Amino acid sequence: MALSPSTKKEIKLQAISLINKYSLVIPIDVYALAEKLNIYIQERNDVIGEGFTIPIFALAKFAKISIIIIEKDVIKTRKRFTIAHEIYHSLEHKNISFFSSDKAKAEREANIFATELLMPANQIKNSVYSPEAKNISELAYIFNVSKQAMQIRIKELNLDDNI
Ligand SMILES: [Zn+2]
């Protein structure tokens, strides 16, 4: 099932409000944000997949601390996206089981959050419309994301004619 526009909007607002609350600047420091949210990041070589989140304490729902475990040997931009994605899981999906049917929905939600956090629509528009012309590579560098992620984001925001 697709996410409703209002759910998407809410998730995006959540990313923006964290950016504002912690005065984060571009490129967003996902490590600093995690720290402020009591989320610890552990990088390991034995991770199956790209990463996952473990809430601490038996009653996961009430956990105040989470650990994000991510694969160490992936490129930095991919790691940043995974951390942003896992941050959303640790904020909102503490009690969703890995095998639950809500899992796919939770994955889409976490991706929307990560995209908005790392490439906020307004900042992207400001960069694209700034006096100096920018191409995808420069934008990717500024936001510290992969070129591919930036390409998708530019398309999604209907800005491809301006690049
Ligand atoms: Zn996920």
Q: Is residue 154 part of a domain?
A: no
Q: Residue 52 C-alpha to ligand 1 middle, in angstroms?
A: 7
Return the pLDDT at 101. Answer: 73
Return the pLDDT at 65. Answer: 81
Return the pLDDT at 135. Answer: 93
Return the pLDDT at 1. Answer: 66
∠ CA 20-157-102, nearest 5°, is 75
Q: Is residue 132 part of a domain?
A: no
Q: Residue 93 C-alpha to ligand 1 middle, in angstroms?
A: 9
Q: Is residue 143 part of a domain?
A: no
Range of the domain at 108: 5-118
CATH number at residue 107: 1.10.10.2910
Return the pLDDT at 104. Answer: 86
Q: Is residue 123 part of a domain?
A: no
Tens-level pLDDT at each residue, the chain (163 residues) = 678 999 999 999 999 999 999 999 999 999 999 999 999 999 998 887 778 777 665 455 666 788 899 999 889 999 999 999 999 998 988 776 666 778 888 999 999 999 999 999 999 999 999 988 689 999 999 999 999 999 999 999 999 888 8
- Domain count of the fold of the chain: 1
Q: Is residue 32 part of a domain?
A: yes
Q: Can you tell me the distance from the alpha carbon of 142 to that of 74, in angstroms, rounded to the nearest whole number?
A: 20
Q: Is residue 43 part of a domain?
A: yes
Q: Can you tell me the distance from the alpha carbon of 54 to that of 65, in angstroms, rounded to the nearest whole number?
A: 9
User: Tokens representing 40?
Assistant: 């610890």
One-letter amino acid for residue 93 of the chain: H
Return the pLDDT at 125. Answer: 95
Q: Is the pTM of this model over 0.75?
A: yes
Q: Is residue 135 part of a domain?
A: no
Q: Residue 139 C-alpha to ligand 1 middle, in angstroms?
A: 25
Q: Residue 83 C-alpha to ligand 1 middle, in angstroms?
A: 10
Q: What residues does the ion ligand 1 have nearby, CB within 5 Å? A: 107, 110
